[in-house]
Structure 1
Amino acid sequence: MSKASRYEWRDQQASLQERMKGFMENPGTEQLQAVLTEMHAYAAAAQDGSIDIPERFIAFS
């Protein structure tokens, strides 16, 4: 996995986590729709190969 691919994956993960956090803080139809849209975009990117997903991921937080 290249450094650029790793950064792209990390950015997409961060975006998805922020959407989920927003939904958890303020549940509603609009926030849920934003989470689902973000998840669909992530899944589509993974399926078409535009992002690489690392085999292992270690979180330090």
Structure 2
Amino acid sequence: MSDEQAKEGAADDELVLISARVRKATRKRARVFCAERDLSMQDLIDRALNEYIDRHAT
């Protein structure tokens, strides 16, 4: 793997800020879910988005 390919791969893993509004009840459920599993909200959202996109990709 070249240095340039390594940099491109690292860029894909770079964290970026997104913003979304969710229902209060959804946030509460997510916070409880994360606390019970020692999982960060960031990891939950990342996993959920990837799973949703993978499942609904054409």
TM, length-normalised to structure 1:
0.30
Work out which of the two has the higher radius of gyration on C-alpha atoms and give 1 or 2: 2
- Which structure ranks higher in relative contact order (CA pairs < 8 Å, sequence separation ≥ 6)? 1
